[in-house]
Amino acid sequence: MRKQPFKICVHHPKSVPSVAQYVAELIPFIFRAFSVFRGEIFKPATRNSQPATTLPSSSLNAKPSFSVSSVTSVVKSFSSYRANRPKKSVKSVAAFTLIEILIVVAILGILAAIIYPEYQSAAQKAKESAAKENLRILREAIERYALDHDGVPPGYPLNNVNVTPTSGVLKLTFINSKKYLQSMPKNPFNNLATPLVLDNASVLPNFASQSDVYGWIYKPITKTVKLNWPGTDSDGLSYYDY
């Protein structure tokens, strides 16, 4: 097979655009894309801001010429635009209006008025349950002590019922031994654990007494323990009668 001779094809100069022509055609479109991307030329003027500097319409919309002077003119226009364009204004931060804040506060107040009584009632019932449980623990411990000491309840010195009982002896024989109680339970309403110990001749009060000093009222001779707190619970029962 006969080889074809190597030929170099040369087009007519008129059919090959020059580099200057490509640059002249691309620069206006690059400027247009840059302007749209930056949002400077077509951004509407805002309050307290200068109108945005735009490129001459001739350099954006007019058909570009292919001369060196045209390229130089476009470059100068771009330089002028870069030098004179306004600084970007600080964007405003979205915030609540006064009316919106007042509405939110009013709604929160209504919710609080609905929820708070329920919360208060739940807290009150929790204290009532704790008081009943602490009374049960105390009464059972007193009964266990009496069983171990021939029926003598705690509080009497040397376990002699003919001697005046005291809170010191009660603490020493009943609590410090850790056999019957690890610690004296507290009255959940006044957070006091100190008992008012009555002697054999004293009459048990019909109501709470000195509730700011004592958490319990205890009469050893009858093995009676009372919750030292006035008022009634959520069911209308007197705390003193627990």
CA distance 47 to 53: 16
Residues 156-194 pLDDT 10s: 999 999 999 999 999 888 888 888 988 899 999 999 999
Taken in order 143, 147, 151, 154, the sign of the CA dihedral is negative
Question: What's residue 66's pLDDT?
Answer: 43
Question: What's residue 120's pLDDT?
Answer: 77
Name 219's bridge partners: 224
User: CA nearest 131: which of 210, 226, 207?
Assistant: 226
User: What mean pLDDT do residues 205-231 have?
Assistant: 93
What does pTM read for this prediction?
A: 0.55
Q: Which band of pLDDT confidence, cut at 50, 70 and 90, is reported for residue 122?
A: confident
Residues 1-25 pLDDT 10s: 454 544 444 444 444 455 455 455 5
Q: Which residue has the higher pLDDT, 90 or 222?
A: 222
